[in-house]
Amino acid sequence: MRCAVFAATAHGVQLAAELQQKLDGSADIFVKKGREAAMPVRCYDTLSKAVRGAFYQYDALIFFMAVGIVVRLIAPCLKSKLTDPAVVVLDEQGKYAISLLSGHVGGANELTRQIAAIFAAEPVITTATDVNGKLAPDAMAAKLGLSPYPKAGIQVMNSGLLEGKKIDWLIDDQLPRTLFFMRALTTEGVRPRLFNVSNCAAHPGLSVLITAQTLPEQPNFLYLQPRRLVAGIGCRRGTPVGLIREALTLACKKIGQDLSAVSLLASTVVKQDEPGLLQLAEEMGVPIRFFGNAELQAQVDAYALPESSFVKKQIGVGNVCGAAALCCVTHGRFALEKTKFTKVTVALVWEK
């Protein structure tokens, strides 16, 4: 998850730097131009303009400032709970961490708990299902890389949970990776069962159905569809397929997935004849797409991606794996930012 961290005071900047370190560097710090900082930061002239840009570039926005200020800053940017980034607010002393926006689908609740643990702060989470210790289907969807629809069904299921109604968890018996989803749900204390989707119309009660099929909306069903997971890959010339496969397997493991979750590979046109990449795509049975420098640079600029001067000198653009993955989706969320392995770099992007 790529995070933009905004700090307004000197102490807030210090906490932002500590947070950046604990998040393994997957956070960019934004401060007002002219404020001194001992670490690399992104400077802005106008806070509202910087927030508007970051709202569409990052997966999460973290603020060390008053909640009221943040509400006014993000209000003009809000679109949908299914696409808005996570927003977390901390006071400038780091005593409270507040999940403000996109708690479930965007992952703000989970991020809030993570940040609170870093600062020994009090997590403030107000979503009713969390407060009452209920497993919300849309929160589970975020963990498993699933997209909920229809949107209205989220409220129906969560209200049903709060009213004590039974929710059936079903998995389409024609869905690939049924075993993965069965195990993942069981780990969360859910007992799912395989289901033939032709029986939806006659199925009583509230149900959550994991399926790749696009089915007619029903008032008692919430569908969770697997998102596309795109793997952007960069590698040294001549890297054997075994090393690339190992790197991708480890990358997937970092986000709680396995290799079978990846539906598309992506890289630079410089690697379009790389035997290891081509062989891996063939073994996995997934497409592989290659992009030119102009396309990659457009994603670097649009998402403010970090660039490597070494890579830029070699091929003309400073980010391959992250930019290539983003080239494949209209809207994406980083599941894993560029991560280095032996002779290979991998970035994983969920399609929103």
Q: Which phi and psi (to 5°) does residue 351 adopt? A: -80, 130
pTM for the whole structure? 0.85
74, two tokens: 């993000």
Cβ neighbours of residue 225 closer than 8 Å, sequence gap 6 or more: 146, 147, 148, 149, 210, 211, 212, 214
Per the rule left: phi > 0, alpha: psi between -120 and 50, beta: everything else, 41 is beta
The superfamily (CATH) of domain 229-351 is: CobE/GbiG C-terminal domain (3.30.420.180)
| Span 123-143, pLDDT tens digits | 999 999 999 989 899 999 998
What's the mean pLDDT in 306-310?
Answer: 86
pLDDT at 5: 96
pLDDT at 38: 65
pLDDT tier at 23, thresholds 50, 70, 90: confident
30 and 7 Cβ atoms separated by less than 8 Å? yes
User: Which amino acid, residue 187?
Assistant: T
Q: What angle do CA 118, 124, 128 make, to 5 degrees?
A: 135
pLDDT tier at 33, thresholds 50, 70, 90: confident
What's the mean pLDDT in 226-235?
Answer: 96
pLDDT at 41: 86
Domain boundaries, the chain: 3-126, 137-226, 229-351
Does residue 25 have a pLDDT over 60? no
pLDDT at 201: 87
| Span 192-218, pLDDT tens digits | 999 999 999 889 899 999 999 999 999
Single out the residue of 150, 308, 127, 143 nearest to residue 234, CA to CA. 308
| Span 39-64, pLDDT tens digits | 778 899 999 999 999 998 899 999 99
Q: In whole numbers, what is the pLDDT of the chain averaged over residues?
A: 93
Taking domain 3-126, whether its CATH number is 3.40.50.300 is answered by no
- What percent of the chain has a predicted confidence (pLDDT) above 90? 81
| Span 136-162, pLDDT tens digits | 999 999 989 999 999 999 999 999 999
pLDDT tier at 314, thresholds 50, 70, 90: confident
- Taking CA atoms, 245 is separated from 248, 249, 252, in Å, by 5, 6, 11
pLDDT at 95: 96
| Span 84-100, pLDDT tens digits | 999 999 999 999 999 99
pLDDT at 233: 97
157 and 137 Cβ atoms separated by less than 8 Å? yes
